[in-house]
Amino acid sequence: MNVKSTYGNDEKRLFDQTIEGLVERARLTLKKQLTGFPHYADTKTGEWTTTEDGFWTGGFWPGVLWLSGHYSGDSSLWQAAEEWVERLEPRVDSDSVFRGFLFYFGCSVGADLAGSRKAETLALAAASSLYATFRPNIGLMPLGTAAEEAHTVGENETNIDSLSASLVLAWAAEKTGDDKFRDVAIRHALTNADFCVREDGSVCQSASFDNQTGKLIKTYTHKGYGPNSTWGRAQAWAMMSYAYLSALYPENREIRDYAEKVCGWWTQNVPDDGVAYWDFDAPQEADTPKDTSATSIACYALLTLATVLDDRETAQDYQRKARNTVKTLCRDYVVAAPGSTGTIPPAMLTRGCFDPMRGVAIEHELIWGDYFLLHCLGILTGRLSTNKPDE
């Protein structure tokens, strides 16, 4: 079932204008000739803080460029994406499971949307590299010694963010027809679900396990409000990943059950306006940060899962909630960015919350927030199909 692209004139205008503004923001960013990958930006100045090697977020920048070129028909944006993709090549074998973020959103998306051979080659290479780290006795790909932002890294740690690796492997299975990638993608996702998805459908970010037996030692949330809290972005990453895998493998009931579980928990616990606080257990006070990036990820998940749900009433409810939330983001959280490149003002998604525990980028534009809002808008306006996640 596809999301219908018919919508009211006011909503159509809002969605179309937001797409145009975010595309213009991408053009404006290119004109800055940044030496590093855009990471987060001060919404008062529009200036980006960058990362030299892409950190775990660098793939979202070429992802934004792939989507922007697709929506606008501007081939120069795809050319720029190609150039940034080449800068990811040194990360193909980096010892971090989070390179799944780099090579799915930076490369697999470009291979599908733009037919980029370079992006396809790098994504397949990353899939093979990730596959080689799989631990059959544990049932997952561990974080690795260089995993970014992990409280503890190494061979006996995992967290729900690592499901990005399953996206690359599942995509590689579709591209090559090699079932080994699919099998590892699914097993990695299911093992992480066993560790991190609680009985009620909420998600704990991280887990430690015995390196020989795979037995769970402890679970913890290292970036949230507390060790047992539900950090908004952890919940959203789980939603995105299980929804994506459900769309590829609708016959896999175990994956679908987890997707329905984590998505259902979100819809039951998110604030009335649909925009999540940075952590669901943080005190909900006037100055508690929201996180539009987690919210955009969650909307992508709801729109994706809705295409394969057997319960059509729930599917329509998820589509409606995602649409209304995207409308809220466009209306209340997207603002004109400083600087101008013409008649269309560049737009930025505000109030993304990166790392409040360290006081870093608490109310900023986040590059992955831009990506997921753009992707959701593509689905809702009919510019992207939802039969498969990136067609």
Distances (CA, A) of 178 to 173, 174, 183, 326, 381: 5, 8, 9, 36, 34
Angle at 211 between CA 210 and CA 215, to 5 degrees: 30
pLDDT for 391 equals 46
pLDDT for 103 equals 98
Cα dihedral 102, 105, 106, 110, rounded to 10, equals: 150
* Identity of the residue numbered 70: H
Cα separation, 361 vs 177, in Å, equals 41
pLDDT for 3 equals 45
pLDDT for 259 equals 98
pLDDT for 331 equals 97
pLDDT per position in the chain (391 positions), as tens? 344 445 678 999 999 999 999 999 999 999 999 999 999 999 999 999 999 999 999 999 999 999 999 999 999 999 999 999 999 999 999 999 999 999 999 999 999 999 999 999 999 999 999 999 999 999 999 999 888 876 667 788 999 999 999 999 999 999 999 999 999 999 999 999 999 999 999 999 999 999 999 999 999 998 999 999 999 999 999 999 999 999 999 999 999 999 999 999 999 999 999 999 999 999 999 899 999 999 999 999 999 999 999 999 999 999 999 999 999 999 999 999 987 667 788 999 999 999 999 999 999 999 999 999 999 999 999 999 765 444 4
Cα separation, 279 vs 145, in Å, equals 27
Q: Counting Cβ atoms within 10 Å, is residue 174 exposed (0-12), middle (13-18) or buried (19+)?
A: middle
- Domains in the chain: ranges and CATH: 9-380 (1.50.10.10)
pLDDT for 309 equals 96
pLDDT for 8 equals 74
Alpha-helical regions (H) of the chain: 9-31, 60-72, 75-86, 99-103, 109-114, 117-131, 164-176, 179-196, 232-248, 253-269, 292-305, 312-328, 367-380
pLDDT for 283 equals 94
